[in-house]
């Protein structure tokens, strides 16, 4: 299978390319230098020239706070870019995977969100990702919408790398403890995405590593596994002002994943352990 992967220089796109190769598929990687998602002509020209058998759309505008000011650019990438790709997928009659986020929900309560629960984004970024979902559903029948949260991978910056860096520089760190969710190791998510496109089990999925934690608990586990001695102080969200509202509840239920017979991702603690090993290998190179 020939698969076009957008956002190939990001954490998830990088790992998707790896798993396509492992599963003996041909991956065509594209980033902004190859294809401008905000240009319908550029997207059409690139995709129709490549004639892929499937698209895994990992690229996105993800600067959550900046999106509150750059509304037009955020929506141009996340909504229009997704629409243009979906139009190409429809024209070629191929499968498309769209990566979405926990931010499409309200972030309220303390129960895991089910795939079909009411959507109520609390910021510009979340609304743009939801509108991207709606474009995919409007234009395609052969689609997978896969929501992830709190992503971490070897190729790019993330919370784990930030904590490891700060943990070596400071003796005390303050981390919010009133936002709860599921970390997602992009290597695990990528493996699942590639297995998904080998099926016709279309629909909306939640694909995070199993188990829930606060950012504070996540940080504690990071330092424990890294054997870094640092005091982590729990604080509430109001301590850190951000332009965009963050969900307090980012728990996602993998109900549809289980129902369709896909393997749920390993626990986030297990994922973190394997990730640490990969980071050590990178440093050794």
- Predicted confidence at residue 120, as pLDDT, reads 98
Residue whose tokens read 């998830």: 12
| Catalytic residue check, 202 | no
| Residue-number span of the structural domain to which 28 is assigned | 2-158+183-211+250-266
Give kind and range of the element (H or E) at residue 185: strand 184-185
Quote the distance between the C-alpha of residue 195 and its chain's center.
Answer: 17
In a domain, 141, yes or no: yes
In a domain, 276, yes or no: no
Quote the distance between the C-alpha of residue 141 and its chain's center.
Answer: 22
- Predicted confidence at residue 255, as pLDDT, reads 97
- Predicted confidence at residue 285, as pLDDT, reads 67
From residue 198, give the alpha-carbon distance in Å to each of 18, 97, 142, 220, 241: 16, 12, 12, 38, 43
Distance, in Å, from the CA atom of 104 to the CA atom of 117, rounded to the nearest integer, reads: 10
Q: How many domains does the chain have?
A: 1
In a domain, 230, yes or no: no
Strand pairing report for 203-206 and 184-185: unpaired
In a domain, 59, yes or no: yes
Q: Which of 103, 125, 143, 216 is catalytic?
A: 125
Residue 171, token pair as written in the block: 């003796």
In a domain, 192, yes or no: yes
Output the domain CATH number for residue 74. 3.40.50.720
Strand pairing report for 95-101 and 209-210: unpaired
pLDDT in tens, the chain (285 residues): 999 999 999 999 999 999 999 999 999 999 999 999 999 999 999 999 999 999 999 999 999 999 999 999 999 999 999 999 999 999 999 999 999 999 999 999 999 999 999 999 999 999 999 999 999 999 999 999 999 999 999 999 999 999 999 999 999 999 999 999 999 999 999 999 999 999 999 999 999 999 999 999 999 999 999 999 999 999 999 988 899 999 999 999 999 999 999 999 999 999 999 999 999 988 776
In a domain, 13, yes or no: yes
Predicted TM-score (pTM) of the model is 0.97
In a domain, 174, yes or no: no
In a domain, 152, yes or no: yes
């Amino acid at each position: 299978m020939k698969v076009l992967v957008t956002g190939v220089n990001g954490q998830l796109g990088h790992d998707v390319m790896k798993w396509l190769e492992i599963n003996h598929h041909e991956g065509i990687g594209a980033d902004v230098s190859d294809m401008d998602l905000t240009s319908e002509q550029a997207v059409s020209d690139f995709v129709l020239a490549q004639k892929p058998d499937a698209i895994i759309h990992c690229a996105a505008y993800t600067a959550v706070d900046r999106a509150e000011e750059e509304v037009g650019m955020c929506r141009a990438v996340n909504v229009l870019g997704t629409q243009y790709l979906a139009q190409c997928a429809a024209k070629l009659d191929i499968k498309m995977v769209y990566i979405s986020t926990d931010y499409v929900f309200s972030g309220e309560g303390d129960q895991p969100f089910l795939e079909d629960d009411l959507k109520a984004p609390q910021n510009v970024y979340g609304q743009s990702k939801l509108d991207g979902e709606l474009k995919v559903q409007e234009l395609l029948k052969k689609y997978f919408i896969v929501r992830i949260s709190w992503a971490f991978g070897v190729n790019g910056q993330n919370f784990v790398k930030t904590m490891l860096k700060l943990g070596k520089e400071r003796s005390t760190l303050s981390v919010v403890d009133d936002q709860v969710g599921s970390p997602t190791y992009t290597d695990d998510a990528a493996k699942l995405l590639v297995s998904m496109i080998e099926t016709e089990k279309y629909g909306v999925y939640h694909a995070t590593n199993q188990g829930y934690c606060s950012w504070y608990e996540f940080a504690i586990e990071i330092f424990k596994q890294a054997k870094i001695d640092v005091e982590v102080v729990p604080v509430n969200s109001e301590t850190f002002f951000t332009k965009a509202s963050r969900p307090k509840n980012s728990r996602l239920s993998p109900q549809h994943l289980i129902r369709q017979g896909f393997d749920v991702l390993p626990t986030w603690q297990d994922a973190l352990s394997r990730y640490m090993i990969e980071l050590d290998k990178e440093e050794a190179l």
